[in-house]
Amino acid sequence: MENREKHILKIIGIPDDNRVDVGYNDGFLKEFLLNFDGNSSFLENITLHNAHITTAYLGGKDHFQTLQLAFKPDIIVNMMCDPEVQKKSLLLFENLNFKAPILNHPRDIAKTARDTVSQNLHSTPEFIIPKTYRIAPNTKEEIRALGKHYFGDKAFLFRPVSSHGGEGLFKIDDVTSETFDAFVLDGNKEYFLSEFVDFKNSEGVYQKARFYMINAKAYPRHYIDADTWKIHAHSRESMKNIEEEKRFLENPPPLFEKFCAYVYAYLKLDFFGVDCAMLPDGKIVLFEANVCMRPFANHTQEHLQAAEKNLLTAFGALLNTRIESRTSKV
């Protein structure tokens, strides 16, 4: 039993708009590369001995009621990560009767929506969970009225519901003068209004930490500094304090790990990412917690490669442990 090939079923969700990005490298013998919005890349670069990964795509225009497999999966890994764009495929997943352990159950993915997190994960004396509201405005005047209602004269963040990585994210400092001309306002297109918490430190620098929770344990991934509040992957190009990031990754302050455990207690996902920052008063503020954060990249710096290796090792161990637990009962 121990030497037989292990079967992993990877679930990819087709987004509700049925769109797919197709990449094709002309002149080389390789298949089309398909990319569906709203799916994680956690299984990339994972090496598993004597294991075979099969991909199933859920959703699309024609839904099936049963999934016919030529094998019995030892484990099912749900790669869907965005409940905003995968409502149909997540519901389909829930209604299928998989008789195998599932990593990242679809009902828990549904809990990662920004407004859902805001409503169900509460601030504490140590942690701040900014308030987030979902709206579908018809006019810019409606946005202004809601912004005033929720935040008064304070700045807030405005973004399309399905955006990630800072795409389409704006800080509204004065809602009365903002035009919102770049956005579709038709009563159908949804947006998030989020409380803005200024996390600039005493030196005028913004610092964002990223952790990954894998099997209920926190693993630091990066600690990026920038001169602006909007920190994303490209912010690393102008980072000034690499040494501080190295120290952070080697020995993160315990309060960050306590915060990740607090978020995990709500989400209960097997693997997901947490973006957050420490405020000047020592509190931790949450930016987002979901599975859509890319865990692996082609970094050349040793401390980032080491952090990535820790993630690969932890995720591989999670898969092997669950598979072994499953096969030992067969």
Judged against a pLDDT cut of 80, whether residue 102 lies above it is answered with: yes
With a pLDDT cut of 70, the percent of the chain lying above it is 93
Residue 270 class from Cβ within 10 Å (0-12 exposed, 13-18 middle, 19+ buried)?
buried
CA distance 242 to 258: 24
CA distance 32 to 21: 10
Closest CA to 41 of 212, 182, 227: 212
End-to-end CA distance of the chain, in Å? 8
Read off the pLDDT band of 1 (50, 70, 90): very low
Q: What is the pLDDT of residue 294?
A: 86
Q: What is the pLDDT of residue 27?
A: 60
Q: What is the mean pLDDT of residues 275-298?
A: 94
Q: What is the mean pLDDT of residues 114-121?
A: 96
With a pLDDT cut of 90, the percent of the chain lying above it is 66
Strand order in the sheet with 132-135: 132-135, 191-195, 156-160, 170-172
Judged against a pLDDT cut of 50, whether residue 45 lies above it is answered with: yes
The fold of the 131-195 domain, in CATH, is: Dna Ligase; domain 1 (3.30.1490)
Q: What is the mean pLDDT of residues 172-198?
A: 92
**Amino acid identity at 28:** F
Q: What is the pLDDT of residues 12-32, one digit of tens each?
A: 999 998 888 887 666 655 566
**Amino acid identity at 27:** G
Instruction: Please provide the average confidence, as pLDDT, over all residues in the chain.
Output: 89
* Neighbour tally for 55: CB within 10 Å: 13
Tokens of 97: 């009767």
Q: What is the pLDDT of residues 214-253, one digit of tens each?
A: 999 999 999 999 999 999 777 787 788 899 999 999 999 9
Q: What is the pLDDT of residue 2?
A: 54
Of 81-95, 162-176, 203-217, where does mean pLDDT reach its minimum? 162-176
Specify the higher pLDDT residue, 326 or 210.
210
Q: Which residues have C-beta within 8 Å of that of residue 97, sequence separation ≥ 6?
A: none
Q: What is the mean pLDDT of residues 255-278?
A: 97
CA distance 76 to 304: 29
CA distance 284 to 188: 34
Q: Spell out the domain ranges in the chain.
A: 6-105, 131-195, 206-317
Looking at domain 206-317, its CATH superfamily turns out to be ATP-grasp fold, B domain (3.30.470.20)
Tokens of 194: 């989020």
Tokens of 105: 């159950």
Q: What is the pLDDT of residue 15?
A: 93
